Each structure stands twice: as structure tokens, then as C-alpha cells.
């Protein structure tokens, strides 16, 4: 079953194996089980319902929240040779009926609909004429009122399914869900004994950072300038903020679009299309520019204001790097952001319980903005992951090499002040007392007579508030819930007061890195843009950035080699392969390369072997049938050096036959462990595998399945 599913993946999508977690979800669905899959943005949720749609005999109904998302996914499927269409408010009733009729005659495998459509009697009658084998519910968290994007229309899904002549298999998919929301999804969508898979929330390719105390407009201007030509989203909290930032960037000559609910439908649509097609690389938007973004090559997401909760933040930030390429997510924090979000909560008509829940979620984001610990660890633990490494090496806090400062004395002064004010006041008043303020409230309460009054007078009020927020984020202090939270001493804080623990702080410093693209990569991007314009589809529908990057590194010059590149399937090669090969061949000739980069090893080593790099000599001997030990002995090298020669050849595009180095019974296990543990370091992989699996087997599997690439080779620093 899984083998056939992988054949479909290779044929239509051009990938040799499923991403981590996909295989389990797809197998569960193909076995006829209701399934809930919680997978981070970019982990390949869509494939988990598109592959079963190709497998099942009838039609797959995909319930999707936004018109733009439907169109993007249908365009993408049609470009792969998969018949799909959508029905939404952009169509009149006659066209909708025609498409449903065509679906009944087998013209489509996937039919996308909005949840609101399920409440219309005419639509339900038409759907009863179809053989609906599978219903896929995208953004399933919208069914829960405790989620960050509750949509009442999602409550119509369960009655609709129950009204079908035959109950189909149900798949529910979302990027983020707490335990409470998971329970709601299962109950409110009436899933029957579902298999639940949480594939992990980690997005290793995303660099996370919080920038505190910066001039936001200056930061954005410098960042956009340093990243010209790269696609990015800048989120702001209000329409007014979006308009101001949009005008600011336009005035400085940067092409950008804007998106918020105050614009006309035509304006939103035109700006969305311009962004998707790379005509306007930067989009400034409120969270209204949300789940409809299926663009794979967004290289950065900046949050101009702090978002309202971690679920919203991680979903919005996760729109960067869906193609797996390195991307940046930077949150610009200012204390006013907290007041703005509290104001927005108070303007809602939520029940008191819902408001209290929103304040609790908001505090989690405030803590994220102030924690000195690994940002990735904070996020993963927020979503319930356990045994998360203390450092990720790819966030602003982990990469900050500034010295740690002992702030135990300052912390003790803050704790003492909180105790002396009887744990009855908020952070702002505590900061005023410590600063030595003689404000009306401080004097009325008599706090100017406290021994802690003015203990931190050399600090600014904002610096004191930042210290308090850091102590809250690190659980030394705790807050009550509500609009006006009270600061109380936590268990860890008591230990510090008794001199049993110390408190440390470090200040983060941003070190921007300007990307450099190769000339071939840019030439391939230009060709992709031309093809996209010709076919009226977004550029990423032709090929993802990650595929272009691999093409520019491997430089294939024939069909066989190009089909081995991830993201190049048979259908796409038949449509676009010749044009891309022509550009690559012209580049190779222009560089004076005498042989194709995709299979350089076919050339015989010349008589003057000194002209041939040492690692290529090892590859040639290996191809002639010599074992690694024999090569090492003949060349007076260590076996590990010969291993690394082969790895280097693989990374440079040479054709290396890896199978002889891989115990066949362990290949799938190595892949599975690599999916779980990542490929950044080999030692954890080695320790998680049977003793008979040696390092070269692990390296061979990683190279064979292209889980490492030139320029990002973890083997180089770990084992070479």
C-alpha cells in the first residue's frame, strides 16, 4: 500500500520518499480510518489528502476556508496533471452545478468547497449524486471556539457529513492545536475512533528571533533593502499600522502590496495575485492575510507588532520557508504592543471565560518575547513537545554570543518589592516603586516609605519592566489572569531570595546576513517567472525555490539526471524540462565545463592523475569495485577519509552508487530516525540505531535521499 502511494508521490510530485510523518497519516487514511493530523506549516499536509484522493475510486471533498487558498491549490494540482476544481462564491449557481455534474462523471478527483457552502440545501442535494469517498477538512482548528481562528461555519461540517448517503473516510488537518482544541476537533467533527498523529512542530529551516527596543521603521527599511528580490510578509496588528507602513515603504521606492479587511475585495485580490506571482515581493498585512497563502518561497516573515497568541504567531511565521529553504522569522517587540493587544481583546464581544483565555494566551507571547532561553524550545514546549534540546543553534538567543550577566541582586530587589506590596499590584506600579517614583498613586499607597522604594533608581522604568517580564517568562514570577494581572512571587523566585539560585541575563544583538544567489539560480528564477506568466500560474507552482537551488547546484543536462532532483516529477519534466535543461546547458558551456555536472564520474581519469582532485580519485577506484578498506590501503588514507571523499563527491553532483554501503534492512529505519532527530548531527542518529549500523551507512542514506546539500553539510563539521 505505502509503496504504491510512494509511486504516486514520485510520478506526480517528483519526490522519492514522504516527509517525516506523512507516511503514517496517509497509511491510516488509505486503511479507511478517520484521522487527525497536526502538522506544522510546510510539513506537507496537502499531500496527505491529495495522495489518498488519487487512490480512492470516488471524489475527495476538500473543505477549505478561503477562496484564494482553493484557487492556489487547484492551480498547483492541475499543473501536476491531477484533475481538481473548486466551488465557491466566485461562481454562479449554474457553473457550480456544472462542475458537480462533471465530478459525478469522473472529471475531477478533488473538489474544493468552503464550509459555508455546506449549509445550502441546493448544494447538499447535488453532492448526494456523487460518490464521496473521502472528506478532507483543512484548518480543522477553526471548529473550536478556543482556537485562534474560530469560524462558526465549521460547525456545519458534522451535520453535512452525517447527511451523506454513505459515510466517507474523514481526515482533519491543522498546523497548531493544544490538547483542548484537539478534543474539540474530534468531538465537533464527530470523528470515529480516529488515529491522531502529531508529527512535531519543529521547522528546522526557520531562524527565529525577537528584536526588542529597536526603531521598528528603520529596522524594516534596512531589512527590506538587504533582502531586495526576496519574497516576504510583514504583519502589523491594525489596518492603520498596515497603511502607514505600506506608504512608508512605497515612499522609499520598494515594491510592495497591502492587505487588510478595510480594502475592497478587488484590491485584496489584486494585491494577493501580485504577491503570489512575485510581481510585488513584499506584502504588508494584518492577520486577514491568513490561511490563503500557499506560496512556497516566502523567505522571511516580520511581525511589526506582537501577535495576540502563540498559535497565531507560529502559523503566520510558518508561512516562511514552506519549500524547506532557510528563512527568517523576526518579531519586533515594543511594550506598547501589549497594551494594543489588550485593547483589541477588550473590544471583542467574547464571554468572560473566552476573554480570560485570550489574556492567558497573550501572556505566553509576552513571555516568548522576553525569555533568554532558546526560542524554538519555548515554542515546541508550548505546543506540548517533550525532551526538546536546550539549544537549537538557529534562533536569536542561541546564536547570541554576548556574555551572560548576573542579575541576581536586581532580581532579589524586585522580589522584595513585590512581597512588601503584598503581591497585590501589577508590573507597572512595581517598576515605579523600584524606580523611586513619587507619582500620585505611589504616594497615596504610602509606597514611597517602603525600603524598596528607589532601589533601582539607576535603571529606566522600561528597563525595570523588561527585567520583570524576563522574570515572569522564566517562572521566577507569576501573573494572575485578566486585563489587569497582578505579579506574584513564584517558587523559583523564593529560591533566589534565599540565595539558593542565581538569575542570569544576556542582551541579544542582531547580526544580519545578506543572502547571495548564484547566477545560474537567478537565470532559472527568470525562466520560471516567464513560464509562470505564460501559463498564468504562480512561479512556485512551476518549481519551488528548493528545486531551483538543487538544479543550480547539480546542473543536470539530461532527462534522467533532472528527474532525480527533488520536486521534478514526470509531468513537470514533460512540461518544463526541456526549457530548464537548455538554460543549464548554456550555463555549463559558458563556464567552460567539459562534462555535465550531473554525472562527471563517467569520464575516465586522465593519465596525469595529479590533475584530478583526491576525492574524485577515490570515487573512481570505488566504481572500479575496490572496497573502502582497499582504497584506504592503496592510497595510504584512513577509511573515514575515503568515506568522506565519497560524501564530497555526492554533494558536488557526482553519481555515487550508495546502495552497496547501506544494509538494506536498515535503510528505512535510518530514514525514520533522521526524520525524528534531524540531520544536523550524526552522533544522536548513530546512538539511536543498532550497533551494526556504522557511520558510512548513515552518511550514504543521507546522501542517497538528498537529506543534505552542498553548503549545508552537517557531515563536514561532525565527522570529517
Q: Taking residues 536-564, what's their average pLDDT?
A: 84
Sole residue written with cell 524594516: 220
Q: How far is CA 358 from CA 316, 379, 496, 707, in A?
A: 18, 17, 31, 40
- 74 has pLDDT over 80: yes
Query: What span, in angstroms and rounded, lies between the C-alpha atoms of 302 and 308?
Result: 15
Cell of 512: 544580519
* Set of cell numbers at residue 482: 485578566
**Given pLDDT bands bounded at 50, 70 and 90, which one contains residue 594?**
very low
Q: pLDDT grade, residue 666 (50/70/90)?
A: confident
Q: Where are the alpha helices (DSSP H) in 536-682?
A: 539-542, 545-554, 559-563, 570-572, 578-590, 614-623, 628-635, 639-651, 667-677
CB contact set of 190 (below 8 Å; sequence gap of 6+)? 158, 161, 162
Place of cell 532558546: 374
What cell numbers appear for 320 in the block? 516562511
Cα distance between residue 602 and residue 585, in whole Å: 17
Mean pLDDT for the stretch of residues 662-669? 85
Give Cα 323 to chain centroid, integer Å.
9
Q: Are 360 and 485 in contact (CB under 8 A)?
A: no
Q: Quickly count: other Cβ atoms within 10 Å of residue 91's Cβ.
A: 14
Q: pLDDT of 19-48, one tens digit each?
A: 878 999 999 999 999 999 998 776 788 899
Distance, CA of 563 to CA of 599 (rounded, Å): 13
pLDDT band at 298 (very low <50, low <70, confident <90, very high): very high
Q: For the residues 50-60, what does the mean pLDDT come to?
A: 92
Distances (CA, A) of 505 to 391, 449, 469, 558: 16, 30, 12, 56
H-type alpha helices, 178-309: 179-188, 216-226, 239-251, 265-276
Q: Of 103, 167, 156, 157, which Cα lies nearest the Cα of 129?
A: 103
Helix (H/G/I), strand (E/B), else coil: 263: coil
The model's confidence at residue 710, banded by pLDDT at 50, 70 and 90, is very low
Residues 108 and 83 sit within 8 Å (Cβ to Cβ): yes
Residue 512, helix vs strand vs coil = coil
Question: Which whole-number Å values give the CA distances from 708 to 85, 324, 520, 554, 563, in the listed order?
Answer: 36, 12, 20, 13, 18
Q: Locate 692 and state its grid cell.
A: 551494526
Query: Looking at residues 96-120, what average pLDDT do you find?
Result: 88
Coil/strand/helix, residue 624: coil
Q: pLDDT digit string (tens) for 428-466?
A: 899 999 999 988 899 999 999 999 999 999 888 888 988
Q: Maximum distance among all alpha carbons in the chain?
A: 94
Identify the residue with better confidence: 505 or 544: 544
Enter the C-alpha cell of residue 153.
461555519
Q: What percent of the chain has pLDDT over 70?
A: 90
Nearest alpha-carbon partner for 379 in 400, 364, 397: 364
> Are 278 and 526 within 8 A, CB to CB?
no
299-to-321, 546, 549, 629 alpha-carbon distances in Å: 6, 11, 14, 44
The fraction of the chain above a pLDDT of 90, given in percent, is: 29
- The pLDDT value recorded for residue 148 is 61
Closest CA to 43 of 321, 388, 385: 321
- What are the strands, taking DSSP E only, across 70-121? 84-87, 110-113
Phi, psi of 455 (to 5 degrees): -65, -25
Sequence-separated (6 or more) residues with CB below 8 Å from residue 551: 524, 543, 562, 565, 568, 580, 584
Cβ-Cβ contacts under 8 Å for 225 (sequence gap 6 or more): 254
Question: Cα torsion at 650, 656, 659, 661 (round to 10°)?
Answer: -70
Strands 487-489 and 477-479: antiparallel
- Cβ burial of 81 (10 Å; 0-12, 13-18, 19+) is middle
Residues in the chain: 720
Terminal C-alpha separation, the chain = 39
Q: Around 671, how many Cα atoms within 13 Å sit in the side-chain half-sphere?
A: 20
**Res 1: pLDDT:** 76
CB 524 within 8 A of CB 580: yes
User: To 10 degrees, the CA torsion angle through 12, 13, 17, 22?
Assistant: -100
How much is the pLDDT for 47? 92
Task: Give SS3 for 297.
Answer: coil
Instruction: Report the distance separating Cα 197 and Cα 233, nearest Å.
Output: 30
Condensed to tens digits (0 to 9), the pLDDT of residues 463-521 reads 898 889 888 878 788 888 777 788 888 878 888 888 888 887 765 444 444 343 468 88
Cα angle at 174 between 171 and 175, to 5 degrees? 145
Cα–Cα distance measured from residue 391 to residue 196, given in angstroms and rounded to the nearest whole number: 28
Q: Quote the CA–CA distance of 304 and 239 in Å, as a whole number.
A: 12
**Helix, strand, or coil here: 232?**
strand
- Decide if 87 contacts 101 (C-beta within 8 A): no
Q: What is each CA distance from 156 to 37, 97, 100, 130, 134, in whole angstroms?
A: 20, 21, 20, 19, 17
Q: What's the pLDDT at 449?
A: 92
Q: Judging by DSSP bridges, how do beta strands 405-406 and 504-505 pair with one another? A: antiparallel
User: Is pLDDT above 50 for 625?
Assistant: yes
Q: Tell me if 322 sits within 8 A of 350, measured CB to CB.
A: no
Distances (CA, A) of 218 to 242, 249, 331, 459, 466: 16, 11, 14, 25, 22
Q: Is the predicted pLDDT of residue 696 greater than 50, yes or no?
A: yes
* Domains by residue range for the chain, with CATH: 2-198 (3.40.50.300), 206-382 (3.40.50.300), 405-505 (1.10.10.10), 519-590 (1.10.150.80), 600-718 (no CATH)
Amino acid at each position: 500500500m505505502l509503496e504504491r502511494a510512494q509511486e504516486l508521490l514520485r510520478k506526480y510530485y517528483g519526490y522519492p520518499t514522504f516527509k517525516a510523518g506523512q507516511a503514517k497519516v496517509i497509511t491510516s487514511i488509505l486503511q479507511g480510518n478517520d484521522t487527525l493530523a497536526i502538522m506544522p506549516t510546510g510539513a506537507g499536509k496537502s499531500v496527505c489528502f491529495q495522495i489518498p484522493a488519487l487512490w480512492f475510486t470516488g471524489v475527495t471533498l476538500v473543505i477549505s476556508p478561503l477562496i484564494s487558498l482553493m484557487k492556489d491549490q487547484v492551480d498547483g494540482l492541475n499543473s501536476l496533471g491531477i484533475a481538481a476544481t473548486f466551488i465557491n462564491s466566485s461562481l454562479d449557481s449554474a457553473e457550480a452545478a456544472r462542475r458537480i455534474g462533471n465530478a459525478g462523471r469522473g472529471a475531477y478527483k478533488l473538489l474544493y468547497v468552503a464550509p459555508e457552502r455546506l449549509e445550502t440545501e441546493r448544494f447538499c442535494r447535488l453532492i448526494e449524486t456523487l460518490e464521496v469517498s473521502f472528506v478532507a477538512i483543512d484548518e480543522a482548528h477553526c471548529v473550536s471556539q478556543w482556537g485562534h481562528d474560530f469560524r462558526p461555519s465549521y460547525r456545519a461540517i458534522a451535520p453535512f457529513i452525517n447527511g451523506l448517503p454513505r459515510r466517507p473516510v474523514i481526515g482533519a488537518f491543522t498546523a497548531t492545536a493544544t490538547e483542548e482544541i484537539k478534543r474539540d476537533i474530534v468531538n465537533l467533527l464527530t470523528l470515529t475512533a480516529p488515529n491522531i498523529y502529531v508529527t512535531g512542530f519543529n521547522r528546522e529551516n526557520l531562524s527565529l528571533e525577537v528584536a526588542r527596543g529597536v526603531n521598528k521603521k528603520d529596522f524594516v527599511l534596512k531589512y527590506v533593502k538587504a533582502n531586495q528580490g526576496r519574497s516576504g510578509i510583514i504583519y502589523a496588528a491594525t489596518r492603520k499600522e498596515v497603511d502607514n507602513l505600506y506608504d512608508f515603504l512605497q515612499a522609499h521606492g520598494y515594491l510592495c502590496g497591502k492587505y487588510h479587511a478595510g480594502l475592497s475585495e478587488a484590491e485584496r485580490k489584486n494585491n494577493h495575485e501580485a504577491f503570489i506571482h512575485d510581481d510585488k515581493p513584499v506584502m504588508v498585512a494584518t492577520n486577514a492575510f491568513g490561511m490563503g497563502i500557499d506560496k512556497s518561497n516566502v523567505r522571511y516573515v516580520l511581525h511589526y507588532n506582537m501577535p495576540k497568541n502563540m498559535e497565531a504567531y507560529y502559523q503566520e511565521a510558518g508561512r516562511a520557508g514552506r519549500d524547506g529553504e532557510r528563512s527568517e522569522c523576526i518579531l519586533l517587540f515594543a511594550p506598547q504592543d501589549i497594551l494594543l493587544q489588550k485593547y483589541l481583546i477588550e473590544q471583542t464581544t467574547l464571554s468572560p471565560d473566552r476573554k480570560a483565555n485570550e489574556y492567558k494566551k497573550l501572556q505566553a507571547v509576552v513571555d516568548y518575547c522576553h525569555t533568554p532561553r532558546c526560542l524554538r524550545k519555548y515554542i515546541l514546549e508550548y505546543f506540548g513537545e517533550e525532551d526538546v534540546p536546550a539549544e537549537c543553534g538557529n534562533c536569536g538567543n542561541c546564536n547570541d554570543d554576548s556574555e551572560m550577566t548576573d542579575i541576581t541582586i536586581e532580581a532579589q530587589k524586585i522580589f522584595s518589592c513585590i512581597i512588601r506590596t503584598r503581591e497585590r499590584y501589577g508590573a507597572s506600579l512595581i517598576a515605579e516603586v523600584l524606580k523611586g517614583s513619587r507619582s500620585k498613586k505611589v504616594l497615596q499607597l504610602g509606597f514611597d516609605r517602603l525600603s524598596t522604594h528607589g532601589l533601582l533608581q539607576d535603571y529606566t522604568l522600561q528597563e525595570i519592566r523588561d527585567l520583570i517580564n524576563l522574570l515572569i517568562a522564566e517562572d521566577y514570577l507569576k501573573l494572575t489572569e485578566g486585563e489587569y494581572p497582578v505579579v506574584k512571587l513564584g517558587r523559583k523566585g523564593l529560591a533566589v531570595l534565599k540565595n539558593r539560585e542565581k538569575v542570569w541575563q544576556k542582551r541579544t544583538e542582531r547580526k544580519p546576513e545578506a543572502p547571495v544567489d548564484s547566477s545560474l539560480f537567478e537565470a532559472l528564477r527568470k525562466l520560471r517567472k516567464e513560464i509562470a506568466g505564460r501559463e498564468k500560474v504562480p512561479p512556485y507552482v512551476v518549481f519551488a525555490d528548493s528545486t531551483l537551488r538543487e538544479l543550480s547546484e547539480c546542473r543536470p543536462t539530461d532527462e534522467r539526471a533532472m528527474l532525480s532532483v527533488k520536486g521534478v516529477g514526470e509531468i513537470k519534466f514533460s512540461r518544463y524540462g526541456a526549457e530548464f535543461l537548455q538554460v543549464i546547458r548554456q550555463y555549463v558551456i559558458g563556464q567552460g565545463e567539459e562534462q555535465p555536472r550531473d554525472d562527471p564520474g563517467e569520464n575516465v581519469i586522465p593519465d596525469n592523475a595529479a590533475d584530478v582532485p583526491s576525492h574524485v580519485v577515490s570515487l573512481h577506484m570505488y566504481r572500479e569495485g575496490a572496497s573502502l578498506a582497499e582504497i584506504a590501503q592503496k592510497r595510504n588514507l584512513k577509511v573515514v577519509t575515503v568515506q568522506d571523499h565519497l560524501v564530497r563527491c555526492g554533494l558536488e553532483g557526482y553519481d555515487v552508487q550508495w546502495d552497496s554501503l547501506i544494509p538494506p534492512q536498515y535503510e528505512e529505519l535510518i530514514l525514520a530516525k533522521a526524520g525524528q532527530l534531524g540531520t544536523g548531527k550524526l552522533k544522536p542518529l548513530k546512538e539511536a540505531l543498532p550497533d551494526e549500523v556504522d557511520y558510512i551507512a548513515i552518511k550514504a542514506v543521507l546522501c542517497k535521499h538528498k537529506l543534505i546539500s552542498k553548503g549545508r553539510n552537517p557531515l563536514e563539521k561532525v565527522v570529517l
